[in-house]
A and B are shown apart, each in its own frame.
Chain A
Amino acid sequence: MSTIQVKTMAEFTASGEQPDILFWVGCSGSFDDRAKKITRAIVRILNHVNIKFAILGAEESCTGDPAKRAGNEFLFQMQAMTNITTLNNYNIKKIVTGCPHCFNTLKNEYPALGGNYEVIHHTQLVQQLINEGKLKVEGGEFKGKKIVFHDPCYLGRANDVYEAPREVIQNLDADLAEMKRSRAKGLCCGAGGAQMFKEAEKGSREVNIERAEEALAENPDVIAVACPFCNTMMTDGVKHFNKETQTKVLDVAELVAGANNL
């Protein structure tokens, strides 16, 4: 594995340069140990295709998504306006996110507060790179493997992005399987709506167990995800069924980086 090259917006500005795209890492991608690996996989891809990108680094702050979904509109708008001030100061035009929640919030909820950017999710960027011929993806270690894709609610239903992650997976020459509930009918992993940060209400089981069971029913080698929160939930779910040796939970970015030995 090569070392990764990352520059912050502050560094770009200091050298009088402007990046082509801002990589919005997100809180999970910045602090969660598992999600940090996904972040680095995304960066490896960006480095591999020589995209001029920047991160905000310490200047990035939570988009406010969990606060908004939990009903704290004050905190959300405080976060949003803080971030918008930063982004607008740096004259950011285009953003790629590592998380569907950041993606949704930046894309759909920042405009009303003065933040207008072209925002894409990392699976969309990877798909574009493949389509433009800038990124070659060959199966590598995933060739012929059975991969089932779990739709993140905030990428799928919330924003109607269903195909980009699937097309990327198909490029791996993998056997893409679908769960019974997929695409618009996909079942949540259980993390959204700020549930990630609290205990579940009383019920018969946890949502992630329900979803992991459904995914494992396909006997996949890999459960592919495109959201760090789904990743946590599905990983826990797979562990619950003691299937972690047979079935790996990997982000689409990790599949691509892994297949290319990045």
Chain B
Amino acid sequence: MISSGIFCILLIGASALFYINIKKVRRNILLGKDVEVKGDLKTMLRVAFGQSKMATRPIPFILHLFVYVGFVLINIEVLEMFVDGVFQTHRAFSFLGGFYNFLIGFFEVLAFLVTFGCAVFLIRRNIVHVKRLVMKELNGWAKTDANIILCSEIIMMSALFLMNAADQTLQVRGNEHYTTAGSFPVSQFIAPFLTNMNDGTLIFMERFCWWLHIVGIFGFLNYLPISKHLHILLAFPNTYYSNLKPKGEFSTLASVTDVVAPNFDPAYQPQTDPNNPQRFGVKDVQDLTWKNLLDAYSCTECGRCTSSCPQNITGKKLSPRKIIMDTRDRLEEVGKNIDKNKGVFVDDGKALLGDYVTHEEIWACNTCNACVQECPVNINPLEIILEMRRYLVMEESNSPAELNGMFSNVENNGAPWQFSPSDRANWINEQ
């Protein structure tokens, strides 16, 4: 009775807290400018559900698949734990008989694969030092975050094994509460170590691990909003709202068209509201679109983008992952500012461009789309970079001198170099 009460309080508390946290994430994302994106279910199923873009790197793909499939399916067992928690039953679904035994065994195998995957991931990060997993933008919280996630998963899976080992020992002993159910392909190897324990210790151990797993799940749920692990949820909406246009097509700024077009067509009707002029490009997170901000929250900091970035590979400061992480960090800062100031943002004299992202990073980009291509959850770091360039050029006239030279050549000569337009067809006679 008491433990049922505690369980219900925890369940309600954890759900309420999660709801509040996620609402904040949603509010932060909606600080971005509106943009029309047509959702595409097929892309979501293929890229997020089907993990299609992971496959290009086979080792992490397989390991991640273990963790992903394990995580999703083991939640079916968690459902049973919820029922047991509320109604104080034990293995409530065991009436399924043989199928139940199969499921429990299957989950154990999955849990083993999850543990294995997480262990290898820890080794890759902390011992082998895979380059993209130890770059300097990960120093501090990002690194801790990754290790917390991996260790918690291992702890939760271990709790599951220990719980099952104690359970089966009690089942064999004929303890009346522990009805015979389940199959234990993994934990059967732990059970022999428990034979010397008395029933009381075993029951305590079984209960302790049960609670550890449950509390772990509630904890994890509320850890998501402050962690890169949020990608397990946001990968789905983020890929649903994928950009399906050719990657080379960069957005057309309607506010610019409104200024330029009347020179060519006197009858042109403006598309934007002249009474509400918008900043050209992006200086701070509020200038980005909600999709850019959803991108930022969906990033799993895997560094596939950065490890394929030509500028990063050749030692430049630019790292598309850092651009995305900076965007999220700044957005979180803006969100906290809003919370502190009763729902309105009070200027803190800071901005994404300048305080987080430097001009040096922005100007190094090749606009090559390698980062966009690589991202397993269809994040677009390039769009953010381009928008910041737009801000620097069109709002601050602050671009590298050589680019200013190129601009004036294009403007005056119709080519990025200083050639006379009338010489354009000279090549014909230069055989």
Contact = CB atoms under 8 A, between A and B. Distances in A.
A195 B318 CA distance: 13
Interface stretch (A129-137, A197-205, A240-248, A249-257): A197-205
A30 B406 contact: no
A68 B389 CA distance: 10
Interface string A178-210: 000100111110111111111111111111011
Contacts of B410: 62, 64, 66-67, 75, 79
B198 interface: no
B303 interface: no
Nearest to A194: B403
Contacts of B250: 68-69, 109
A46 B389 CA distance: 39
A8 interface: yes
Interface stretch (A53-61, A138-146, A167-175): A53-61
A127 interface: no
Interface in B304-329: 308, 310-311, 313-318
Nearest to A201: B364
A73 interface: yes
Interface string A30-73: 11000010011001000000000001011011101011111111
Given A61-B414, A201-B318, A71 B368 contact: no
Nearest to B427: A36
A75 B399 CA distance: 14
Contacts of A15: none
Nearest to B406: A197
Contacts of B264: 81-82, 85
B19 to A, nearest CB: 40
A217 to B, nearest CB: 15
A192 B367 contact: yes
Contact of A27 (B315, B360, B416): B416
A197 B402 CA distance: 6
Contacts of A58: 421-422, 424-425
Contacts of B428: 4, 6, 43
B393 A72 contact: yes
Contacts, number: 225
B138 to A, nearest CB: 19
B265 to A, nearest CB: 8
B405 to A, nearest CB: 8
A69 B390 CA distance: 9
Interface string B357-370: 00010011111111
A190 B310 contact: yes
B368 A153 contact: yes
B407 A75 contact: yes
Contact of A194 (B311, B317, B406): B406
B348 interface: no
A29 B423 CA distance: 12
B249 A109 contact: yes
B248 A192 contact: no
Contacts of A204: 314-315
A36 B430 contact: yes
A157 B369 contact: yes
A77 B256 contact: yes
Contacts of B431: 1, 3-4, 40
A199 B402 CA distance: 8
B248 A210 contact: no
Interface of A: 1, 3-4, 6, 8, 25, 27, 29-31, 36, 39-40, 43, 55, 57-58, 60-62, 64, 66-75, 77-79, 81-82, 85, 104, 107-109, 112-113, 153-154, 157-160, 181, 184-188, 190-207, 209-211
Interface of B: 56, 245-250, 252-253, 256-257, 259-261, 263-264, 280-281, 308, 310-311, 313-318, 360, 363-370, 372-374, 386, 388-394, 399-400, 402-403, 405-407, 410-411, 414-417, 419, 421-428, 430-431
User: Closest 3 A-B residue pairs measured CB to CB?
Assistant: A158-B248, A71-B389, A204-B315
23 contacts: A3-B431, A58-B422, A61-B421, A67-B410, A71-B281, A71-B390, A71-B394, A72-B390, A77-B253, A78-B260, A79-B410, A82-B264, A108-B248, A112-B252, A153-B366, A153-B368, A157-B372, A158-B249, A192-B367, A198-B403, A201-B317, A203-B316, A207-B311
